Amino acid sequence: MKTLQTMTLTLAALAALAAAGVARADNERLAVFTKNQTNPYFQAVRLGTEAASRQMKATVTHYVPTKPDSIPEQMSQIEDVIVKKPDAIVFIPVDYKAMAPGVQKINTAKIPVVNVTDRSEVGAFVSFVGASDYDLGKETARALFKAMGGKGNVIGIEGVKGSLTNIDRQRGMRDALKDFPNIKLLASQPGNYQRLQALQVMENLMQSYPQIDGVFAANDAMASGAIEAMEAANRKALVVGINGTKEAIDAINAGKMLATGDYNGFLQGCLGTMAALRSLRGQPVPKEIVLPAAVIDKANAARHAVPVEQRSCPRWEDAVKG
Amino acid sequence: MTAASLDLNRGPLAHLSQGTRSVVYRLLAMALIAAAMSFASEAFLTSNNLLNVLRQASLLFLLASGLTLVILTAGLDLSVGANVALSACLAATVIKGTGSVALGVAAGLGAGSLVGLANGLLVTLLRIPPFIATYGMLWILHGVTYWFMKGETIHGFPPAFRAVGSGYWLGVPIPVYVMLLFLAAGIVFAQRTTWGQEIYAIGANPEAARLSGVPVRRRLVLVYVASGAMAGLASLIFLARLNSAEGDIGETLTLPAIAAVLIGGTSLFGGVGSMLGTLVGAVILTLVLNFMNLLTINANWQPLVTGVIVVLAVFLDNLTRKGDSR
């Protein structure tokens, strides 16, 4: 009888502990989907998710297509993950339209999912965490035009035609241009986000334009290609890129590059993971978190020079207003 | 048009061999395109711009020259772009780590050649078809490179090394000298050496080549090693020109390199083709981008314009060839 009582008590205590465990909800398992292993941006996102999960005592498993941005590969990874049933998913679709069936599968399996970086066209999400490419394009271009003293000739080097990021960045740049009537956009040519092509485009455009004062490149790799082309020709112009990569920050500190729009993959990874964990733990999460467009230039570059590996996530209350 | 080509055939070129004539036709096709472009843009036909185009074509030519030897044997090397990425990243790491450009160059060329050797052994010893062997190699190399680089970019190399990519000697960009050196070496090797002739023979009829005593396997290994080594060299030019390396740099290089070889008149079925033709192919592809940039053609139209010019170039060539066969 006594033994039974003890057992009951023990069971009750265990049940209470388990209940408390659910409420405290440590050690949740998260599945993180990113697009590829080649772009440093997604590496920063992954490090952000790891930093956040360390701080909040959860574990993450990464799912990255071996073939960069492969739609079928991400699709089969989603199927694998659904079988493993993690507590939540942090999701960057390799394609914002084509991954719709995958998102629907996650929704059907009732696994809470936070959408990060590229906004999926369909699906029910706990939250969306991302930067605004339009704002980044506009603010980075504005920084360039201001530094040019509001006058002179500008070259644009565009990203992959038809990609959402490029469309919005170009739109932002052209809207910024409206406020600077004395700045002339000489040409805007595609570099497809590729370093080599941007170098060649810049070499070609220097043949027909003797005076180039500024270059707006839609990402940092292309900005760096343009800088190499001009250095080889002993020419100089103010160059801006977007993404806030380490390479760009080094170039800004060395005085080779003017500025870069900070896409802040690390912070997006942090906040995406925090949003997923908060929602699992019953804390409030806004439906949409859009990071304010920040431009990194020489004045604030030192703050960004800390290697991504050594950064820690900000407090939720400091990063997410309202 | 046809009349003109017939005249050409009966005219001053009639005494040349058919191989030489076909290269002359290719050069003419290129000149025609260039002439059309010079009407459209003033900046096009200037010595500065032409040197600019040659410098841009150098990387593509180096990559395509090794590939030409492979395709002459009716083989294929789909791994050249991935090989460039791996070799560039290794060379960059070594230069950064040791501070020695010489060691970095050795690492780049060595890695490229070893990949080529692996391809050659897959094709000859394991008898895996070249397309599949080198397609598999492409993924292996991408995988190794991505793992090795972890999304990082390596940048900032010594000025002396960068001068190889961006410097000039006597007013001509240094990569152009490298290109011409390897063009000459390629022509001599392919046309004037026994090994070169054996490579053509293997492509034309491997069985006949084997029966007439050509060491087919060894020559096949040789062409894949050559292709790998040229990818290694191209990776060094890439590093010197762009002053940086990252894992994904090779992904867009392979198809243009194959296209340069084929536009240059080398047959995918082997046995027919030339180094000079490959140079023309590389220059035509480079001209297209140059031309579109100079005319600032809208980004939306650029893929279409590229396609039309490439097809037109080969069509012009076919037209002149038709005259030749009569």
Q: Is A203 among the domain residues?
A: yes
Q: What is this model's ipTM?
A: 0.86
Is the confidence at residue A191, as pLDDT, over 70? yes
Q: Is B278 among the domain residues?
A: yes
Nearest CB to A207 within list B52, B252, B292: B52
The 10 Å Cβ neighbour count of residue B108 is 31
CATH of the domain at B300: 1.10.3470
Q: Give the residue-averaged pLDDT of B31-56.
A: 86
- Assess whether A161 and A221 both reside in one domain: yes
End-to-end distance of chain B based on CA atoms, in angstroms? 15
A302 HSE (CA, 13 A, CB side): 1
- What's the Cα-to-Cα distance from A224 to each of A216, A227, A257, rounded to whole Å? 11, 5, 8
- Long-range CB contacts (within 8 A, 24+) of A178-181: A179/A142, A179/A145, A180/A145, A180/A150, A180/A151
- The more confident residue out of A8 and B128 is B128
- Assess whether A240 and A176 both reside in one domain: yes
A27 has a chain B CB within 8 A of its CB: no
- CB of A271 closer than 8 Å to CB of A288: no
pLDDT recorded at residue A281:
93
Determine, for residues A228 and B142 on separate chains, whether the beta-carbon distance falls below 8 Å: no
| Chain B partners within 8 Å of A173 (Cβ) | none
Q: Give the residue-averaged pLDDT of B226-252.
A: 94
Chain A residue closest in CA terms to B240: A228
Strands (DSSP E) along chain B, which ranges? 153-155, 168-169, 172-173, 244-246
End-to-end distance of chain A based on CA atoms, in angstroms? 56
B252 has a chain A CB within 8 A of its CB: yes
pLDDT recorded at residue B301:
87
- Assess whether A189 and A249 both reside in one domain: yes
- Assess whether A258 and A270 both reside in one domain: no
Is the confidence at residue B305, as pLDDT, over 90? no
**Tens of pLDDT along B115-136?**
999 999 999 999 999 999 999 9
Q: In the structure encoding, which two tokens stand for residue B28, read together?
A: 């003419």
Is the confidence at residue B320, as pLDDT, over 70? no
Determine, for residues A204 and B153 on separate chains, whether the beta-carbon distance falls below 8 Å: no
Q: Is B70 among the domain residues?
A: yes
Q: Token match 């410097």: residue?
A: B167
Determine, for residues B151 and A205 on separate chains, whether the beta-carbon distance falls below 8 Å: no
pLDDT recorded at residue B250:
86
Domain range for B65 is 32-315
pLDDT recorded at residue A303:
78
d(CA A231, CA A210): 15
Q: Is A307 among the domain residues?
A: no
- The more confident residue out of B144 and A321 is B144
Residues A199/A200/A201/A207 CA torsion (nearest 10 deg): 110
| Nearest-neighbour CA in chain B from A149: distance (Å) | 26
**Tens of pLDDT along A233-283?**
999 999 999 999 889 999 999 999 999 999 889 999 999 999 999 999 999
- CB of A132 closer than 8 Å to CB of A290: yes
**CA angle at A315 for the pair A311 and A318, rounded to the nearest 5°:** 115
pLDDT recorded at residue B18:
66
Is the confidence at residue B14, as pLDDT, over 70? no
- What's the Cα-to-Cα distance from A40 to each of A101, B152, B255, B324, rounded to whole Å? 27, 6, 25, 54
pLDDT recorded at residue A235:
95
Name the percent of chain B lying above pLDDT 70.
Answer: 91
pLDDT band at residue B26 under the 50/70/90 scheme: confident
Is the confidence at residue A19, as pLDDT, over 60? no
- Assess whether A258 and A183 both reside in one domain: yes
Q: Give the residue-averaged pLDDT of A101-113.
A: 95
Q: Is A302 among the domain residues?
A: no
pLDDT recorded at residue A224:
96
Is the confidence at residue B245, as pLDDT, over 70? yes
Is the confidence at residue A305, as pLDDT, over 90? no
Determine, for residues A246 and B153 on separate chains, whether the beta-carbon distance falls below 8 Å: yes
Q: In the structure encoding, which two tokens stand for residue B86, read together?
A: 């791996």
pLDDT recorded at residue A246:
86
- Assess whether A255 and A203 both reside in one domain: yes
pLDDT band at residue B324 under the 50/70/90 scheme: low
Q: In the structure encoding, which two tokens stand for residue B157, read together?
A: 């190399």
B306 HSE (CA, 13 A, CB side): 13
d(CA A159, CA A198): 9
Residue B58's nearest CA partner among B244, B309, B270, B240 is B240
pLDDT recorded at residue B47:
87
d(CA B134, CA B214): 24
Range scoring the smallest mean pLDDT among A178-182, A244-248, B214-218 = A244-248
- The more confident residue out of B11 and B205 is B205
Q: Give the residue-averaged pLDDT of B24-39.
A: 80
B79 has a chain A CB within 8 A of its CB: no
- Assess whether A141 and A244 both reside in one domain: yes
Range scoring the smallest mean pLDDT among A39-43, A126-130, A303-307 = A303-307
Q: Is A305 among the domain residues?
A: no
DSSP string across B9-54: HHTTTTTS-HHHHHHHHHHHHHHHHHHHHHHH-TTTTSHHHHHHHH
Backbone torsion region of residue B243, taken as left when φ is above 0, otherwise alpha when ψ lies between -120 and 50, otherwise beta = left
Q: Is A297 among the domain residues?
A: no
Domain range for A147 is 133-262
pLDDT recorded at residue B113:
98
**Tens of pLDDT along A112-127?**
999 999 889 899 999 9
Q: Is B326 among the domain residues?
A: no
Instruction: Render the burial of A41-68: b for 16+ CB within 10 Å, e for the rest.
Output: bbbbbbbbbbbbbeebebebebbbbeeb
A228 has a chain B CB within 8 A of its CB: yes
> Under 8 Å CB-to-CB from B192, ≥6 apart: which residues?
none
State whether the Cα torsion B76-B78-B80-B81 is positive or negative: positive
Q: Which residues pair with A286 in a beta bridge?
A: none
| Nearest-neighbour CA in chain B from A184: distance (Å) | 14
Chain A residue closest in CA terms to B159: A232
CATH of the domain at A233: 3.40.50.2300
Query: Which residues in chain B (171-210) have CB-CB distances under 8 A to chain A?
Result: none
Q: In the structure encoding, which two tokens stand for residue B149, read together?
A: 């680089």
pLDDT band at residue B37 under the 50/70/90 scheme: confident
B304 has a chain A CB within 8 A of its CB: no
pLDDT recorded at residue B11:
54
Q: Which residues pair with B153 in a beta bridge?
A: B246
B46 has a chain A CB within 8 A of its CB: yes
- Assess whether A226 and A148 both reside in one domain: yes
State whether the Cα torsion A245-A251-A256-A262 is positive or negative: positive
Query: Which residues in chain A (61-120) have CB-CB distances under 8 A to chain B?
Result: 66-68
Longest dimension (CA), chain B: 63
- Assess whether A39 and A138 both reside in one domain: no
Coil, helix or strand at residue B155: strand
Distinct helix (H) and strand (E) counts, chain A:
12, 12
Element (H, E) at A209: none
Q: Please, what is the average pLDDT of chain B?
A: 89
> Under 8 Å CB-to-CB from A112, ≥6 apart: which residues?
A87, A88, A89, A126, A276, A279, A280
Q: Give the residue-averaged pLDDT of A275-299.
A: 93
Determine, for residues A192 and B252 on separate chains, whether the beta-carbon distance falls below 8 Å: yes
- Assess whether A246 and A257 both reside in one domain: yes
- CB of B293 closer than 8 Å to CB of B301: no
The 10 Å Cβ neighbour count of residue B301 is 12
B38 has a chain A CB within 8 A of its CB: no
Domain count, chain A: 2
pLDDT recorded at residue A301:
85
Residues in chain A: 322
Mutation site for B-interface testing, chosen from A64, A200, A212 by largest number of B Cβ within 10 Å: A200
- The more confident residue out of A129 and B30 is A129
Q: Is A272 among the domain residues?
A: yes
Residue A69's nearest CA partner among A109, A41, A106 is A41
Longest dimension (CA), chain A: 98
Residue B253's nearest CA partner among B221, B231, B222 is B231
Is the confidence at residue A207, as pLDDT, over 90? yes
Domain count, chain B: 1
pLDDT recorded at residue B24:
78
pLDDT recorded at residue A304:
78
pLDDT band at residue A15 under the 50/70/90 scheme: low
- CB of A6 closer than 8 Å to CB of B214: no
Burial of A24 (0-12, 13-18, 19+ CB in 10 A): exposed
Q: Is A14 among the domain residues?
A: no
- What's the Cα-to-Cα distance from B83 to each of A73, A121, B41, B103, rounded to whole Å? 23, 37, 37, 18
Range scoring the smallest mean pLDDT among A237-241, B73-77, B248-252, B253-257 = B248-252
pLDDT recorded at residue B1:
38
